[in-house]
Amino acid sequence: MIGFDPLYFLMLGPALLLSIYAQLRVKSAYAKYRDMPNTGNRSGREVAEQLLRTRNLDVQIEEVSGWLSDHYDPSARTLRLSPDVYHGRSVTAAGIAAHEAGHALQHAEGYFPMHVRQTMAPVTMVASNLSFVVIFLGFIMSAMGLIKLGILAFTLVVVFQIVTLPVEFNASSRAKILLGQYNIVSGDAAKGVAKVLDAAALTYVAAALSSILTLVYYLFRAGLLGGRSDD
Exposed, middle or buried, 173 (CB in 10 Å: 0-12/13-18/19+)? middle
Catalytic residue among 62, 63, 100, 168: 100
**Pairing relation of β-strands 78-81 and 60-63?**
parallel
User: Hey, what long-range contacts does 215-219 have (CB within 8 A, 24 or more apart)?
Assistant: 215/151, 215/154, 215/155, 215/158, 216/11, 217/7, 217/8, 217/11, 217/12, 218/1, 218/135, 218/147, 218/150, 218/151, 218/154, 219/151
Separation between Cα atoms, residue 108 and residue 54, nearest integer Å: 12
> 3-class DSSP state for residue 63?
strand
* 62 classed as catalytic: no
Cβ(146)–Cβ(137) under 8 Å? Answer: yes
Separation between Cα atoms, residue 33 and residue 182, nearest integer Å: 20
Contacts of 175 (CB under 8 A, 6+ apart): 95, 98, 99, 101, 102, 193, 197
Quick one: which of 2, 16, 46 has its CA closest to 213? 16
Separation between Cα atoms, residue 163 and residue 152, nearest integer Å: 17
- Residues annotated as part of the active site: 100
